[in-house]
Amino acid sequence: MKFLSNNKALVALAALYIIYVLIDILHWKQGLPMNPQNLRNILSQTSYTGIIAVGMTLVIIGGGIDLSVGSLMGLLGVLSILALNKPSGEPLQTIAAIVVAIGAGALIGFANGVIITWGKIAPFVATLAGLVGFRSLALALTDARSLTATSKEVFPGLAQGGIPIPGAFDAAGRPLLAQWPIFICIAVAAVGSWILNRSVYGRRLIAVGANETAAIYSGIRANQIRVISYTFLGLCTGIVAVLQGSRLTGADPASLGQNVELDAIAAVVIGGTSLSGGKGQVWATVVGVLILGLIGNMLTISNINNNWQGCVKGVIILLAVLIQRGQKSTS
């Protein structure tokens, strides 16, 4: 029982999956909840948001928030494709794309952190400026035109390649691939989890988020701790920008990464991380991302008008917060 009450997000995911199975047996009769390709699709679709949500979890546990990641992803995607399309030949082109996106992501995340801590601007406001500014910068750099990747081999392989799942085949009879983004998401989550639970930095991040004064009185450089969390999130955003560029073999400055910040924050909240900081778990955020992915998948195949997706997600977020509150008062 204790395990169940401590892992409500996981219980919710399991319950949701069972509901999915039941509806399918009674109504849809398509076998999608057990279909390897459908499940693989859920995983690969959620892995992009997942990577950013891991970084967002750390930022939120440190008492901050970052609204700029969606727009930043658009900007980094554009920069990455621009770097890729310099005619330097493969694999140099792909390496340039990766280095530019991740490097610029970390740098801009760092700048966000500096503005928030030393500049003493509330995280909400500072990153709201980024939300507005980065998107515009992406549009200005490209004249609002979509970019297409010129690399047709190595670069698309980053997101589209993967490891064949034994015994699983797609509709055309080809081996089904577990794509690289799934593994990258798992790796980033493992790193995030290690940072939070095992590292010295993680202890300090929790302290800063829970009670910044107490942290400072304990000799912790609170500003530095918080800047690192924004830098890490920027780095995660860079990784996702490259992967999305690879998946779409290009970047559309207007739509790339749009609303990703909201999905990431929603996943963090559904996972039970406190928006006031100091408390949370990376794996719970990953479960939160999967819950959102599963709901999206159910809605897509259920013939419910796509426009209702947001409503359902909104209700789920409220429910998640209500359940977490119940958890708090009983313990």
* Binding residues vs another protein (CB under 8 A): 198-200, 202-204, 206-207, 210-211, 213-221, 278-279
Give min distance, CB of 196 to another protein, in A. Answer: 11
In terms of CB distance, is 137 or 205 closer to another protein?
205
In terms of CB distance, is 47 or 193 closer to another protein?
193
In terms of CB distance, is 167 or 217 closer to another protein?
217
Give min distance, CB of 125 to another protein, in A. Answer: 19
Helix or strand holding residue 11 (H, E):
helix 8-23
In terms of CB distance, is 160 or 324 closer to another protein?
324
Say which residues have a Cβ less than 8 Å from residue 196's Cβ, sequence separation at least 6.
Answer: 57, 58, 61, 202, 205, 206, 280, 281, 282
Give min distance, CB of 195 to another protein, in A. Answer: 10
Give min distance, CB of 210 to another protein, in A. Answer: 5
Cβ neighbours of 204 (radius 10 Å): 21
Helix or strand holding residue 165 (H, E):
strand 162-169
Helix/strand/coil for 168: strand
In terms of CB distance, is 81 or 227 closer to another protein?
227
CA distances from 12 to 52, 115, 153, 292, 304 (A): 22, 38, 41, 11, 22
Give min distance, CB of 243 to another protein, in A. Answer: 28
Give min distance, CB of 44 to another protein, in A. Answer: 32
Q: Which neighbouring-strand residues pair with 250? A: 148
In terms of CB distance, is 6 or 146 closer to another protein?
6
Give min distance, CB of 215 to another protein, in A. Answer: 7
CA distances from 11 to 4, 186, 270, 291 (A): 7, 20, 12, 11
Cβ neighbours of 194 (radius 10 Å): 12
In terms of CB distance, is 26 or 200 closer to another protein?
200
Give min distance, CB of 55 to another protein, in A. Answer: 19
- Alpha-helix runs per DSSP H in 222-281: 222-248, 260-270
Asked if residues 81 and 69 have their Cβ atoms less than 8 Å apart, the reply is no
In terms of CB distance, is 253 or 280 closer to another protein?
280
Cβ neighbours of 305 (radius 10 Å): 8
Give min distance, CB of 206 to another protein, in A. Answer: 6
Separation CA 116–CA 202 (nearest Å)? 20
Separation CA 47–CA 289 (nearest Å)? 8
In terms of CB distance, is 135 or 204 closer to another protein?
204
Q: Which neighbouring-strand residues pair with 148? A: 250
Separation CA 197–CA 191 (nearest Å)? 10
DSSP letter for 287, please. Answer: H
DSSP letter for 143, please. Answer: T
